[in-house]
Structure 1
Amino acid sequence: MQNGYRLVVVDTPGLFDTRVTNNEISKELVRCISLACPGPHAFLFVLSIDRFTKEELDTIDHLKELFGKDVTKFVIFVFNGKDSLEYAGITLENYIKKSPVQLQSLIHRCGGRMTTINNRVPPKSKEDDVNNILSLVEQTIRSNGDKYYTNEMFEAAEKVYQSKIRELEDKYGKRLAELELREKIRKEIEEHEVFPNKIRELEKRLTELE
């Protein structure tokens, strides 16, 4: 319980874990959504204030592929490392203005919902940060008309995503087969070119022996 709210926080699987297949990730995401029954009211996208990797910045586009374009209505950016901003005497808003354009665009597409949290202070001192996050969650719920993200919404988006995956696999599968065939033909041509040369060389040697 937090400020009268019953909070359920679900840690989702890594979306860029190369050891896990897309199907496994999709199944785990469905499970995560079901744990937040009746459905998640917000997706907290946690980033370090000190660095932004390309993979992290690409995550929103990946989320849109997995969850559908409406997922941006539920995303809240949470930057850890609030103490770094306080030490530099700069606000989060001004810091973001100097951040990569891609990050600024992502935040804009997600309604500008963002806040910071300091992980280096005692739990009691984090209360204000937690309240700021809850306030953004409340705003998100109101802006979405008290709606939450449902399994049905995910399943519809997942069908589109899997369809795109199959199209890409089919496209590049054919391309790979074509390249393999070309390589096979090239080797056969080389072998046929080499074989007559060897015959001519042997005939020449036999002639010399005579």
Structure 2
Amino acid sequence: MSTSASQSELRLVVLGPRQAGTRPAVCSILGLEDQDSDVGSVPECTKHRGEAAGSQVVVVSSPAWFSSAYDPEERRKHLSSLVALSSPGPHAFLLCVSVNQPSEDEGRALDVLAQMLGPAAVSTYTTILFTHTEELDEDEQLEGYLATWRKDLLEMVARCGDRYHTLESRGGGAEERRAVEELLEKVKEGGTQHFSCPLYQEAEERVKARQVEIVRQRREEEHDSPTDPEDEVTEEEMEAVREEAERSVGGFALELGGIFPSSSVSPSSHAFHGGLWERLVAWIRWLPSLVRRDALMGALVGLFVGGPFGGMVGATVGSVASEVGKRKTEETEKSK
């Protein structure tokens, strides 16, 4: 990739668990057809190029390496690939967060970014991208919902400099395109300087060295003889092998032990918590006579699940119960 091309393009890194809607987010930004795209179809980092709102955009999407479902080596592989593919550094990290699910994994993702790349990666360069907003009532605004029912998500937004957005719209294609334009405008408001840190600087140096190596190897294959190491490698040759070089570099010194302790929740336990959450929400919807005891219900859920995750789930279940009760009351009054 030439220096001018690197400076003119807008690089975005999309993060989040698959169920949080990372694939639709990438497709919306680049104007891809969801069913025809390979975004998120393989369990590895992907890189896509396109044009959006008059800008050349590169979107790197990553598996949920912050989930307890991945072992340390898988995490290291995914993170190394993420850094290499988004080198020399992204203009924004977009963390997809579902408005109707617990946010334990997403909170861990912010912790990893801050510890691995530095606090500015979160406070200055990360935007929360809310998904599944179709779960809200037609007359309910995202801002009001977060302030009333999901203060845990507002705390996450606060960690990211109060930056959040959604690409979902009930108005169809025109409104969705406008939502993408607004997102890119928010990213550009931070200036043209992309994020950088020692790890990204190391990645860029390795990518450039690998580009030169690949070009010279190809020259030797074409001429069937060794090439002169002093021969200059052109920008065009470098750009032609950029992505191949990005995918072939590795070995970054990632210290993840303190970020992902060995006592992390096991995959089976994580799956259990996810299933429990869905069952609890469904159960609450069928118990209108008990929703006035929402605070007690939330506390009991927290005790049952246990640990910090349990406390978070309990608080959120209490909020869901309150919301259900409020809406049941409003529906009853309207029907009188």
Write the distance in 1 (CA, Å) between the matches of 2:53 and 2:99: 27
Offset at residue 152 of structure 1 (A): 2.4
Determine whether 1:33 maps to 2:33. Answer: no
Match of 2:181 among 131, 135, 144: 131
Percent identical residues: 25
> 1:13 is aligned with what amino acid?
P
Instruction: Give the gaps of 5 or more residues in structure 1.
Output: 170-210
Determine whether 1:161 maps to 2:255. Answer: yes
Determine whether 1:95 maps to 2:145. Answer: yes
CA separation of 1:9 and 1:120: change in aligned 2, threshold 3 A: farther
Worse-superposed segment, 63-72 or 43-52 = 63-72
Give yes or no for contact 1:41–1:149 (8 Å, CA) kept in 2. Answer: no
Encode CA deviations 1:29-55: one digit per residue, 9 max, x unaligned. Answer: 222222223211111011122233333
Cross-structure match for 2:330: none
Cross-structure match for 2:199: 152
CA separation of 1:128 and 1:64: change in aligned 2, threshold 3 A: same
Trace 1:58-77 onto structure 2 (pairs within 5 A): 58-72=108-122, 73-77=124-128
Encode CA deviations 1:82-122: one digit per residue, 9 max, x unaligned. Answer: 444460x2332222212444322221121111111227765
Write the distance in 2 (CA, Å) between the matches of 1:46 and 1:21: 22
Give yes or no for contact 1:64–1:70 (8 Å, CA) kept in 2. Answer: yes
Instruction: Give the gaps of 5 or more residues in structure 2.
Output: 1-50, 204-251, 263-336
Number of aligned positions between the proteins: 163
Give yes or no for contact 2:66–2:112 (8 Å, CA) kept in 1. Answer: no
More helix by share: 1
Write the distance in 1 (CA, Å) between the matches of 2:97 and 2:259: 28
Encode CA deviations 1:104-147: one digit per residue, 9 max, x unaligned. Answer: 222112111111122776544410111121122112x32xx723
Higher relative contact order (CA 8 A, sep 6+): 1
Write the distance in 1 (CA, Å) between the matches of 2:259 and 2:169: 38
CA separation of 1:4 and 1:150: change in aligned 2, threshold 3 A: farther
Write the distance in 1 (CA, Å) between the matches of 2:140 and 2:69: 39
2:179 partner SS: helix
CA separation of 1:37 and 1:63: change in aligned 2, threshold 3 A: closer
Encode CA deviations 1:56-92: one digit per residue, 9 max, x unaligned. Answer: 33332233233332221211011123444460x2332
1:161 partner SS: coil
Give yes or no for contact 2:166–2:179 (8 Å, CA) kept in 1. Answer: yes
> 1:44 is aligned with what amino acid?
L
Write the distance in 2 (CA, Å) between the matches of 1:45 and 1:165: 18
Output the aligned Cα RMSD: 3.2
Give yes or no for contact 1:47–1:80 (8 Å, CA) kept in 2. Answer: yes
